[in-house]
Amino acid sequence: MITVHLKKLKRRTEISSEEERAIRGAVAEVRQVRADELVIRSGEYLSSSIILLDGWLARSKDLPGGERQVTELHIAGDFPDLHGFTLKRLDDDITALSDCRLAVVPHERILEVTQKFTRLGRVYWFSTNVDAAIQRELSLSLGQRSAISRMAHLFCELYVRLDVVGRASNNGYAFPLTQRELSECLGLTVVHANRTLQELRRRGLLELENRHLTIRDMRGLEGLAEFDPSYLYLEKHQL
Amino acid sequence: MITVHLKKLKRRTEISSEEERAIRGAVAEVRQVRADELVIRSGEYLSSSIILLDGWLARSKDLPGGERQVTELHIAGDFPDLHGFTLKRLDDDITALSDCRLAVVPHERILEVTQKFTRLGRVYWFSTNVDAAIQRELSLSLGQRSAISRMAHLFCELYVRLDVVGRASNNGYAFPLTQRELSECLGLTVVHANRTLQELRRRGLLELENRHLTIRDMRGLEGLAEFDPSYLYLEKHQL
DNA sequence: CGAAGCATTGAAGTGCGTCAACAATCGTGG
DNA sequence: CCACGATTGTTGACGCACTTCAATGCTTCG
């Protein structure tokens, strides 16, 4: 179950069997949450963090008027609120986009593990830095890319990230978001997100039905998105 | 000189005199760079990071077509490429917006210091997490706020951050960016950034001349920006 | 089976972009 | 210290990508 998290880590760095045991031992319990459940409210005090084992989570920030911006989508293997280990409260909400299974990791155990294995401290620091890189790429999208290029970019990124944890299959993946949620990722209205999605279909780049995305023309999609995965830091790192 | 960096750290957590000595000892040299100089190119291998002692730096990402998005502005006291310690290369460029003084900190010394003082490891991890929070707030701005609210928000944030390191004075601060650079922070064209700035002036909220910003109506500006500084994590933290 | 949420479409509006010109300021060399 | 080209700031006219509003069918699920 937590194997998916180790799979993600091992893609980017070596994890010794001793370190692996320490990580496995840090999990206190496994929880389930339902779709649409608010998992963590921004501002609330945190004494544990969660590893996403299965399902999708969104981190988002709202304006007083209700407008919502998703700051990052999280998939199986991610450690969505690991930054809460040092920050002790989040500045963004975490919501379940689908039913999810979560491994709860108390901060005191993260502290112990990273004291004992200082390299793991760097591995997890690295991990939050990659999340920050994903968020920077989002800023680039929101600030400079057109709606269609932005949407294409998101689908490309998710394909790569899902592939790392073995959740992508022959050019497609399960995609549980509604068009409203998708629009909140992209800084668009639902109506325009809908039209943009249709344009991607019309160009023969992808299909999206029954919550499943199929990429029909990966080259074309990547080209439209100007997608370059180097910001995902997929190569092996010495830490 | 590096005192400004310690000032920033001490605002958010305790730093013992032993830890302070370790930090001061980690600096290998002090460099100067001129305005408009490309300080770090994204992708290049890094074996040291820099603390900004004086001046302004911008982190930015470009699209193939030349469109640029600034992902974060950095001021005195910041550690702009600290994430390079784990990532070993950046996904964004770092450019000098003004003449700057930089303290160079070799990664091997960061490694030593954080091995010896594991709490300092968490302090710096915390620090990159705050940068990530600033970037999330930018995503919220780019995705959901109007041009004028976005610009107001940026000026509010910079006031608070500069105040922490004692670089803001009676409701104003030195602001070295050109309108082009400002527009690249906000995802706007220069022309529209210019008109938006004029609108802020016209409403009596601020003045900007000779590279100096004066806030005439802080309440009004914060209200327009819907500014809430909690994402800056200014309170004292146990790490 | 009914209600609520979700996807889709059309028509009309607007915030911001584009293009183009010009004024003001800056930096540099003579 | 002035000359002058380059950069920066400003303004106007116009265009368009995306929003807004509103209506309609389609799912989904209690």
Tell me the per-residue pLDDT of A125-136, one tens digit each, with 9 for 90 and over. Answer: 999 999 999 999
What's the average model confidence in pLDDT over B35-55?
Answer: 97
For residue A75, pLDDT beyond 90: yes
Distance of CA B187 to the CA centre of its chain: 17
What's the average model confidence in pLDDT over A198-221?
Answer: 96
Segment B199-237, tens digit of pLDDT: 999 999 999 999 999 999 999 999 999 999 999 999 999
Q: Is A211 exposed, middle or buried (0-12, 13-18, 19+ CB in 10 A)?
A: exposed
For residue A175, pLDDT beyond 90: yes
pLDDT band at A178 (very low <50, low <70, confident <90, very high): very high
Locate B219 and state its tokens: 């309440």
pLDDT band at B1 (very low <50, low <70, confident <90, very high): confident
In degrees rounded to 5, what are phi and psi of residue B200? Answer: -65, -40
For residue A181, pLDDT beyond 90: yes
Confidence (pLDDT) at A67: 96
Cα–Cα distance measured from residue A80 to residue A82, given in angstroms and rounded to the nearest whole number: 6
The residues, any chain, with a CB within 8 Å of residue A16's CB and separated by 6 or more, are: none
* Strand C–CB A195 distance below 7 A: yes
Segment A4-49, tens digit of pLDDT: 999 999 999 999 999 999 999 999 999 999 999 999 999 999 999 9
Confidence (pLDDT) at B5: 98
Name the residue facing A133 among B91, B115, B226 (closest C-beta).
B91
Q: Between chains, do B132 and A132 touch, taking CB under 8 Å as contact?
A: yes
Selection from A122, A35, A135 nearest residue A80 by Cα: A135
As a whole number, the mean pLDDT across chain B is 97
Cα–Cα distance measured from residue B187 to residue B68, given in angstroms and rounded to the nearest whole number: 8
Q: Between chains, do B137 and A239 touch, taking CB under 8 Å as contact?
A: no
Selection from B136, B151, B138 nearest residue B188 by Cα: B151
For chain A, first and last CA: distance in Å? 25
Cα–Cα distance measured from residue B58 to residue B70, given in angstroms and rounded to the nearest whole number: 6
* Strand C–CB A197 distance below 7 A: yes
Handedness of CA A126, A230, B78, B28 (dihedral sign): positive
Region of B88 (left: φ > 0; alpha: ψ -120 to 50; beta: rest) is left
Residue A101 is inside which H or E element, if any? Answer: strand A100-106
* Virtual torsion, Cα B195, B197, B202, B206, nearest 10 deg: 180
pLDDT band at B55 (very low <50, low <70, confident <90, very high): very high
Residue A52 is inside which H or E element, if any? Answer: strand A48-54
Going by the DSSP 8-state scheme, the letter that residue B212 receives in this structure is E
Architecture of domain B3-136: Sandwich (2.60)
What's the Å distance between residue A192 CA and nucleotide C10 C1'? 13
Enumerate the nucleotides of strand C whose atoms come under 7 Å of any protein CB: 5-11, 15-20, 26
Which CB contacts under 8 angstroms, 24+ apart, belong to B175-184? B175/B208, B175/B211, B175/B212, B175/B213, B176/B35, B176/B55, B176/B56, B176/B97, B176/B98, B176/B211, B177/B56, B177/B73, B177/B97, B181/B58, B181/B70, B181/B97, B182/B151, B182/B154, B184/B58, B184/B60, B184/B68, B184/B69, B184/B70
Confidence (pLDDT) at A1: 80
Task: Return the percent helix, strand and coil in chain B, to nearest 5.
Answer: 45, 20, 30
pLDDT band at B170 (very low <50, low <70, confident <90, very high): confident
For residue B91, pLDDT beyond 90: yes
For residue B76, pLDDT beyond 90: yes
- B 164-193 residues, CB < 7 A, strand D: 178-180, 190-191
For residue B59, pLDDT beyond 90: yes
Confidence (pLDDT) at A208: 96
For residue A52, pLDDT beyond 90: yes
* B220 to B138, B148, B158, B200: CA distances (angstroms): 20, 12, 16, 10
Confidence (pLDDT) at A27: 98
Q: Between chains, do B139 and A139 touch, taking CB under 8 Å as contact?
A: yes
Does B236 contact A at CB distance below 8 Å? Answer: no
As a whole number, the mean pLDDT across chain A is 97
Q: Residue ranges per domain, chain A?
A: 3-136, 147-232
pLDDT band at A170 (very low <50, low <70, confident <90, very high): confident
| Predicted TM-score (pTM) of this structure | 0.97
Collapsing DSSP to helix, strand or coil, A72 comes out as strand
> Which strands, in side-by-side order, build the sheet including A38-40?
A38-40, A93-96, A57-62, A68-74
What's the average model confidence in pLDDT over A146-172?
Answer: 97
Does B114 contact A at CB distance below 8 Å? Answer: yes
Nearest CA in chain B to A140: B69
What's the average model confidence in pLDDT over A40-62?
Answer: 97
Residue located via tokens 């400002």: B182
Largest CA distance in chain B: 55
What's the Å distance between residue B191 CA and nucleotide C22 C1'? 14
Pick the CATH number of B147-232 from 1.10.10.10, 3.40.50.1370, 3.20.20.70, 3.90.230.10: 1.10.10.10
